[in-house]
Structure 1
Amino acid sequence: MSLRDEFLRLLREDEVFRLAVIGLLGISDIQSTLRQLVDAVGGLARNQSVMMETLNKVLETIQRLTENQEKLWEEDNRIWREVNALREVQSKILEENNKIWQEIKKLIENQEKMWQEIRGLRRDVNVIRKTLDNITASIDEEANDVVTHLLRDRGVNLRTDRVTLNLRFEFDVYGTNGQLTIIGEAKSRVGPRLIARFDEKVNRAVALFPSKFPGKVIKVIYCLRAMPGAIEEAERRGIWLIESMRERTRPSF
């Protein structure tokens, strides 16, 4: 057996020899160092496992935050879309308001023009009213003058004038001498309906104020123009109709 083989045999079989050789070579320190390295590596591995778990949790948290952030971005985009839609609606409302104000402005301008026209119409109406009042007064005076003249031609000396029995019963022509009472109205023109209303009005007045109608009552209408059918209606009702100083009917006195 060679020396090398013997040496190897002793290392395998003789523990005391083997430890002595290890001590001489410093292998024990290396083994100790290796064990420390193994322990350190194992600790690092364990720490790495913990770190990986922590990292995974962090990554999961980041993922959840990212998902929430995406949801927030989606919500933010939705809100902005709604805001833009509201702005469009607001813009349309402002446009409509502007149109409405333009219409209001036109209405105000038209109203001002209308009031100017109304003021002009009022002036015209006042002029017409004054003219009608003058015409009416002239017709009233003419009616009483003509009736008085025609009565005188019949031998009746009786002066007529306007009379007010109450607020409802006013007549343009009235006169009485105790045996004869003349009651009538003066109009620019008359038709059958006006004659009928006048006849009913006189009948009510006679019933309400009998003392004002002594003797024979003669109903008279003086007009500037008699419409078709007026003469026939006056004749039928026994009304003295005078048209522009001409007797169209002749009731008995």
Structure 2
Amino acid sequence: MPSATRILVIGASGGLGSALANHYAAPGVRLLLWGRDEARLRAVAASCTAAGATADIRSQDLADLPAALAALAEDDAAEAIGLAVFAAGLGDIRAPGDLVEDAALVARLAAINFTAPTVLAAALADRMTARGSGRIVLVGSAAAFHALPFAAAYAGTKAGLARFADALRLAVREHGVTVTLVSPGFIDTAAGRQVPGPRPVLLQPDAAAARIARAAERGVAHAIMPWPFAALRLFDRLLPRPLRDRLLLSLAPPPRGARGSGG
């Protein structure tokens, strides 16, 4: 269990975020849970308090950056946040029949998957460096390693988040603050099950939460999970571009209603 003064989980109303909150819940632990779904947040908080933790909730739209920044400053001033896990995110693919994703979808994913976590992480890192301690965990995706033509916004925003996390890590590492990027593969959440196509090496949310917590505790710079996705990252880098392009194009899920290959 980390020695953090307070643990912030952003995205705690989602499948992975709620698993992280419950993983950390224990006597003496003080949790701050942010999410979009207030009813879900209350249920997660109740589960955490049953495990002996104290849990405060905040229903916050991350797309409203001025409000989110003000809320973060307020929460951190009330009690210093020692560990922050940014687990909120949106995943989607282009609509059936479309060649590219809708522009509004791209904007929404950019706001939630990249702009909000980077802005909030930067603001919190500034406060943590002033204190000389703190841990930040940014949950990305193994999709960041690949140019997915059917999910350009998702892959692109997660790739941007990965580069930001690495740069922020270097900026603050001499000031008592660690930054960990987590790049998971497929996680068995309600949101993940809505995306068509196969999901190999599927992680359960509680197992993913435990791995993320271990990486944060050790101060790992980049944790890819499970390991086959690290191999796929290397494979993508080594494959000649024409072959890589053909392979990526073949991965596009069939139109909804089409007969799949099983599974």
Q: Scaled by the length of structure 2, what TM-score is found? A: 0.22
Larger Rg: 1
Greater fraction helix: 1
Q: Scaled by the length of structure 1, what TM-score is found? A: 0.23
Higher relative contact order (CA 8 A, sep 6+): 2
